[in-house]
A = this chain, B = another copy of it.
Amino acid sequence: MGSAMRYGELNPPNRILLGPGPSNVHPIVLRALSSPLVGHLDPYFMERMDEVMELLRETFVTKNRVCFPISGTGMAGMEAAISNLVQPGEEVIVGSNGFFGQRMAEIVRRYHGKPIEVSEEWGRAIDPSKVEEALSRSGADLVCIVHAETSTGVLQPLEEIGKIAHAHDALFLVDAVTSLSGCELKVDEMGIDVCYSGSQKCLNCPPGLAPITFNERAMDRVRNRRAKAQNWYLDVSLIEQYWSEGRAYHHTAPISMIYALREALRIIVEEGLEKRWIRHERNRDALIRGIEEMGLRMHARENRCPTLNTVSVPEGVEDAKVRGFLLDRFNMEIGGGLGPLKGKIWRVGLMGINSSEQNVILFLGALERALRASGFRVKGSGAKAAIEAYSERG
């Protein structure tokens, strides 16, 4: 009794989560979270682990044996990928055109690797020829690239860089946190050796898991390290033993989150990846049409990501005020800019189930209300333009 009475019932508001993540969680996934737990060595749970691996392989479009969720958030996925591969003193090529590319370089440095940053303006894609150049003049045998840069809304074309990396006998590591199941991604076909993601973006699962996959070429590198990876919890050579038949105890799997991921992946595979990718593109296109109709500009001029849209904050409009309006009046979250883009862009996530006509039209309407309340003169109706875009396509 006593002090505890200070704490009332947990009663979160019902937000529409159109920020950079977390996205809204599918009702079936929420229900899975509230299922009773079994032990992590229970035969029932082991079968679910196997299913999660199978479903993840389908989602990553890979045949890799090593394919499971890391028991941490997307950032743990990034660190797992890098800490297992990078050895002290090694040079690593890192594409740096946004916050998460820079994070990769930071993590490489933590593990005493030497990042060679191939930089590009925030809002543009990495130029493959610069990767080629960096590989030629260095001893790097690892190239790290962010697929969908959450800080800028740029979708990075991957295949050419993958070919260049392999031509130099380097591994190709891809951050698919904001792209997995929302943007075309085929790990094996695209020549990706290591790929990780997060549960809270296009998978519509709560944050807390980081799906990851290593092919055998990458696992050979892990197994032949000079010294053990400097991170025990994220050591894939140990985790793979837990996620395979021996079930060698490493840590206790986060049962409820694994339940959730299993259901989230099942929903994705039931929709079909190709259909899902097209849906995300279509909703991005309608959003852009609406944004431009209102007299606003998209921040990313090219390679616009279907899952994370960046809109430039117009002159004279206060970023935080608009976001506050959307949150208070519409229960709708959108994101602000990071780093150099703080105050300059809005980040509008349309991820997984959140990529829908309903959300696009409602967001455009809500944004118009917020802009008008800020004294901004909207050029035309964004919602109307989006409705027309959808109607044309049928």
Q: Which A residues have a C-beta under 8 Å from some C-beta of B?
A: 1-5, 7, 10-15, 17, 19, 21-22, 24-25, 30-40, 42, 44-45, 48, 51, 55, 58, 71-76, 79, 106-107, 110-111, 198, 200, 206-208, 228, 230-234, 249-257, 259-260, 262-263, 266, 269-270, 272, 327, 333, 338
User: Among the listed B5, B71, B255, which residue makes an inter-chain contact with A76, where contact means beta carbons less than 8 Å apart?
Assistant: B71
- Which residues of B are found within 8 Å of A251, using beta-carbon distances? 72-76
Residue of B nearest to A31 (CB): B34
Query: Is A110 within 8 A of B230, CB to CB?
Result: yes
Q: Nearest 9 pairs between A and B by C-beta?
A: A208-B254, A34-B34, A75-B251, A206-B256, A33-B33, A4-B270, A4-B269, A207-B252, A30-B34
State the Cβ distance, A117 to closest chain B Cβ, in Å: 17
Indicate if the CB atoms of B256 and A208 lie closer than 8 Å.
yes
Given contacts A7-B51, A24-B36, A72-B72, contact A13 B230 (CB under 8 A): no
Centre residue among A5, A250, A254, A255 by max chain B CB count within 10 A? A254
Which residues on B sit within 8 Å (CB–CB) of A36? 12-15, 24-25, 30
Query: What are 26 A-B interface contacts by the 8 Å CB criterion?
Result: A4-B266, A5-B270, A7-B269, A10-B32, A10-B259, A10-B262, A12-B36, A15-B36, A15-B39, A22-B40, A30-B35, A30-B36, A33-B33, A33-B34, A33-B256, A38-B333, A73-B252, A73-B254, A75-B251, A107-B232, A206-B256, A207-B252, A207-B253, A207-B255, A208-B208, A230-B230
In the complex this chain forms, how many copies of it are found?
2
User: Main SS of chain A's interface residues?
Assistant: loop
Decide if B71 touches A72 in the complex (CB within 8 Å): yes
A259 to B207 CA separation, bound complex (whole angstroms)? 12
| A17 partner residues in chain B, CB cutoff 8 A | 37-39
Known contacts A251-B76, A252-B22; A15 and B42 CB within 8 A of each other:
yes
CB contact under 8 A between A230 and B111, given known A13-B44, A257-B257: yes
Interface centre among A58, A107, A230, A338 (most CB of B within 10 A): A230
Least CB distance from A272 to B in Å reads: 7
Whether the pair B7, A55 counts as a contact (CB closer than 8 A) is yes
- A85 CB → nearest B CB, Å: 15
CA–CA, A38 and B25, complex, Å:
10
Bound complex: CA of A207 vs CA of B55, how far in Å? Answer: 22
For residue A10, which residues in chain B have a CB less than 8 angstroms away from its CB?
32, 35, 48, 259, 262-263
Residue A15 contacts which of B21, B38, B338 (CB distance < 8 angstroms)?
B38
* Also in contact, A208 and B257, with CB within 8 A (given A12-B35, A72-B71, A266-B4): yes
Which residues of chain B are within 8 angstroms of A33 by Cβ–Cβ distance? 30, 33-34, 256
| Chain B residues with CB under 8 A of A263 | 10
Contacts of A38 in B (CB 8 A): 12-13, 15, 17, 333
B34 and A79: CB pair below 8 A?
no
Can you name 7 extra interface pairs (CB under 8 A) apart from A22-B37, A208-B256?
A: A17-B38, A25-B37, A31-B34, A73-B251, A74-B252, A208-B257, A230-B231
